[in-house]
Structure 1
Amino acid sequence: MTVALALVICPPDSADALASALVEAGVAACVNIVPQIRSVYRWQGAVCRDDEALLLIKHRADRFDALRDAVLARHPYELPEIVAVDLDRGHAAYLDWVVRSTT
Structure 2
Amino acid sequence: MDMILVYTTFPDMKTAREIVRNLVKKRIVACANLREHEAIYTENGKVKETREVGALLKTEVSRWKELKGEIQRLHPYETPLLLRIDVDRVNREYAEWMKRVLG
TM-score in terms of structure 1 length = 0.90
Q: Mean alpha-carbon deviation: is it higher for 93-102 or for 4-13?
A: 93-102
Counterpart mapping for 1:28-47 below 5 A: 28-34=29-35, 36-47=36-47
Q: Which runs of 5+ in 2 are unaligned?
A: none
Give aligned-pair identity as a percent.
27
Distance, in Å, in 2 between the alignment partners of 1:88 and 1:96 is 15
- Report runs of 4+ in structure 1 exceeding 4 Å deviation: none
Distance, in Å, in 2 between the alignment partners of 1:25 and 1:46 is 38
1:5-35 superposed Cα distances (whole Å, 9 cap, x missing partner): 111100123111011011011110001111x
Q: Which runs of 5+ in 1 are unaligned?
A: none
1:34-81 superposed Cα distances (whole Å, 9 cap, x missing partner): 1x1111112332222110011110001121110111111111111111
Give yes or no for the alignment of 1:54 onto 2:54: yes
Note the C-alpha offset of 1:102.
2.2
TM-score in terms of structure 2 length = 0.90
Aligned-residue CA RMSD (Å) = 1.3
Distance, in Å, in 1 between the alignment partners of 2:44 and 2:63 is 31
1:26 — aligned with what?
27
Count of paired positions:
102
The amino acid that maps onto 2:91 is: H
The amino acid that maps onto 1:32 is: N
1:68 — aligned with what?
68
